[in-house]
Amino acid sequence: MTHDAPRPPADMSEHGLVATSMPDLFRLAMRQSPVATCLVDGEGAFLAVNAAARALLGQTADELVQLSLQRLVHPDDVDADSAARDRIARGETDNYRAQQRFVRPDGTVFSGELVVNTLRGSDARVLAYVVQIVDVSDRETARDEAAFAREELRGVIDSLIDPWVYMVAVRDDEDRIVDFAYRDANDAALVANRMSREDLLSTTLLQLLPGHTTNGLFEQYVAVVETGEPLALDDDPYASELTSGGLRWFDNRAVRVGDGLSFTWRDVTDRVRIRRRLAHEARSDSLTGLANRLGLEHAAREMFSREPRRGRRLAILYCDLDDMKSINDTYGHACGDLVLRAVADRIDGALRHGDIAARVGGDEFVILADGITDEEAALAMVVRVAEAVTRPVLYGREAITPTLSVGLALADPGDDVEAALKRADDALYDRKRARRETARG
């Protein structure tokens, strides 16, 4: 089917069919077929075309009879079926499929899928070819658009700063999900997992990150596939196997795609640590490093909300640093700050694990102690703290010995926090007033 020399007009009649000895049944089937069907000779010249073919090719029967099929093929596609035609010539096959573009007289181009069947004579010589052509332009367009969309999506995925992977479910004989196998990943995921693409796509989630079975993440991934509900976890802690077991925090997102997960994550460890540091600073006294009033309120709410335990009470020590004004007036505020820091360190050093000390004013401190058995134990704590504070603080050549006045109140979990703090404050006031009266007497 390679020659395109004009042929003498054949009798194309009203239906475009040659008036030969072609069986009537074949002529009828060809004429009524909704598929573009052509009969061409061994040189590719048209012998007959049905109405569907004339409409598809955009030419009349008389025009087509002057042409060969190959003359209508786009120049770049003329040899697309040459290998198949050679196999027919060698007698290796009698039919084939091919895809070629065709050019109509108005210049428009369509993609056609050809089904070619060979008609041979009794001596096996090729008599003609029956060629059916289906316009697959829409299919080609859809395929091109899908390919473009895939390339576009691939570009978006690869440009993501956050790691992304696609994992398919691995199921056992009872159709239960027992793992997820990596099937795709962007460059950021390869960096995050410290693996090449080939290595990552040949492993599974639990082979790479077995900790997912113990921290509940794996079960949550399974639920996404089984229910279709997306997963969103913020500030999720994970002791990553890829970072020597150090605890890090992640924002995780997973959605079901087919029988698998489209999964992306972001390491937010720095954000969490900054937020925690800022929260700590907001609850801490900048001079002494102890809790401030906000930190005290937070700790007190936690302590007072615990379940009461028989024989275990809370002690509140409201402390005032004596003669602080005199120290500032005599030695200056730099000395006063030094004394405050020394006192804070000594108070903190005298506490048990779990006790809280806070600076709530210029020279005022509050201590919260849990698990106190009775008033005697609380008084022993008062003495221990006071003795720890009452040691000289050196400032240049001066030795300044600070002292504390302490008001004590006992409370139980569930009591009102403000009321308990006020009782301790009132006890401090009573103690200082008694000391002043003793000094005057």
- The separation between CA 107 and the C-alpha centre of its own chain, rounded to angstroms, equals 49
Report the CATH number at residue 301: 3.30.70.270
What is the average per-residue pLDDT within 21-43? 78
Between CA 281 and CA 142 the distance in angstroms is 59
Between CA 158 and CA 210 the distance in angstroms is 26
Give the model's pLDDT for residue 331.
92
Give the model's pLDDT for residue 204.
95
- The pLDDT tens digits for 37-80 are 988 888 888 888 999 999 999 999 888 888 888 889 999 988 88
Looking at 241-255, 285-299, 424-438, which range is the least confident one?
A: 241-255
The pLDDT of residue 3 is above 60: no
**What is 331-392 written as a DSSP string?**
H-HHHHHHHHHHHHHHHHHHSPTT-EEEE-SSSEEEEEEEEE-SHHHHHHHHHHHHHHH-S-
Between CA 370 and CA 304 the distance in angstroms is 9
Between CA 350 and CA 370 the distance in angstroms is 14
Give a yes or no: residue 10 inside a domain. Answer: no
Q: What is the phi/psi pair of residue 105, to 5°?
A: -60, -30
* 267 & 210 share domain: yes
- The pLDDT tens digits for 254-307 are 999 999 999 999 888 888 888 888 777 788 898 999 999 998 998 898 888 877
Contact 68, 45 (CB under 8 A): yes
Residue with the two structure tokens 């690869």: 158
Give a yes or no: residue 2 inside a domain. Answer: no
Closest CA to 272 of 256, 251, 291, 290: 251
Give a yes or no: residue 145 inside a domain. Answer: no
What is the average per-residue pLDDT within 322-332? 92
Share above pLDDT 90 across residues of the chain, in percent, rounded to a whole number:
46
Contact 103, 78 (CB under 8 A): no
* 231 & 258 share domain: yes
* 320 & 419 share domain: yes
* 431 & 317 share domain: yes
* 60 & 188 share domain: no
The pLDDT of residue 417 is above 70: yes
Residue 215, SS3 per DSSP: coil
- The pLDDT tens digits for 122-139 are 888 888 889 999 998 888
* 293 & 425 share domain: yes
The pLDDT of residue 16 is above 70: no
Give the model's pLDDT for residue 354.
85
* 410 & 296 share domain: yes
The pLDDT of residue 245 is above 60: no
* Structural domain for 397, as ranges: 283-440
Between CA 61 and CA 54 the distance in angstroms is 7
* 295 & 267 share domain: no
What is the average per-residue pLDDT within 376-380? 92
Give a yes or no: residue 154 inside a domain. Answer: no
The pLDDT of residue 219 is above 50: yes
The pLDDT of residue 19 is above 50: no
Give the model's pLDDT for residue 308.
66
Give the model's pLDDT for residue 15.
42
H helix and E strand count, the chain:
15, 16
More confident of the two residues 160 and 326: 326
pLDDT-derived band of residue 165, with 50, 70 and 90 as boundaries? very high
Give a yes or no: residue 155 inside a domain. Answer: no
Looking at 4-13, 352-361, 364-373, 387-396, which range is the least confident one?
A: 4-13
Give the model's pLDDT for residue 253.
93
Give the model's pLDDT for residue 8.
47
Residue that finishes a domain, picked among 241, 271, 301: 271
- Edge-first strand order for the sheet with 231-239 is 177-185, 164-171, 260-267, 247-257, 231-239
Report the CATH number at residue 171: 3.30.450.20
The pLDDT of residue 14 is above 50: no
Give the model's pLDDT for residue 10.
44
* 373 & 298 share domain: yes
* 434 & 299 share domain: yes
* 251 & 389 share domain: no
Give a yes or no: residue 298 inside a domain. Answer: yes
Average pLDDT, the chain: 86
What is the average per-residue pLDDT within 237-265? 84
One-letter amino acid of 87: R
Between CA 6 and CA 64 the distance in angstroms is 10
pLDDT-derived band of residue 207, with 50, 70 and 90 as boundaries? very high
Give a yes or no: residue 364 inside a domain. Answer: yes
Give a yes or no: residue 435 inside a domain. Answer: yes
Between CA 99 and CA 78 the distance in angstroms is 10
- The percent of the chain in helix, strand and coil, each rounded to the nearest 5, is 40, 30, 30
How many domains does the chain contain in total?
3
Where is mean pLDDT largest: 157-161, 180-184, 191-195, 265-269?
180-184
Residue that finishes a domain, picked among 245, 271, 297: 271
pLDDT-derived band of residue 310, with 50, 70 and 90 as boundaries? low
Between CA 88 and CA 406 the distance in angstroms is 109
* 59 & 127 share domain: yes
Give the model's pLDDT for residue 302.
87
